[in-house]
Amino acid sequence: MAARNELTPGLPALAEAMPGFEATIWYGLFAPAGTPEPVVSKLYAECAKYLAMPETRKKLADVGVMVAPLAPAEFGAFVRSEVVRWSAEVKAAGIQPQ
């Protein structure tokens, strides 16, 4: 991560030891391509309500998960940027599909 994790503020961020390097683990909810926008919006709204609940946030924090929901369009852009970023890393490393 580029910044220290709020759940472990005493633990240095990876970027402190390796400037410019960033890698994170993230989780997301996907729907099939072509899912109607009202359905996607409803799913997002319900998930956002659940993730905003104090007991949910605590349970996730207890296992080291920081909650940072993204709206559907933001999440789509994030996923596309991850594909581009890691595709370049895979290519640079010479990794071949098996």
Tell me the per-residue pLDDT of 27-49, one tens digit each, with 9 for 90 and over: 999 999 999 999 999 999 999 99
pLDDT at 77 over 80: yes
**Rounded CA separation 67/79 (Å):** 17
Query: Tell me, what's the pLDDT at 1?
Result: 59
Query: Tell me, what's the pLDDT at 23?
Result: 79
**Rounded CA separation 1/64 (Å):** 14
Q: Are 14 and 23 in contact (CB under 8 A)?
A: yes
pLDDT at 2 over 80: no
Confidence class of residue 13 from pLDDT cuts 50, 70 and 90? confident
Place of tokens 């729907």: 31
**46 or 66: which carries more pLDDT confidence?**
46
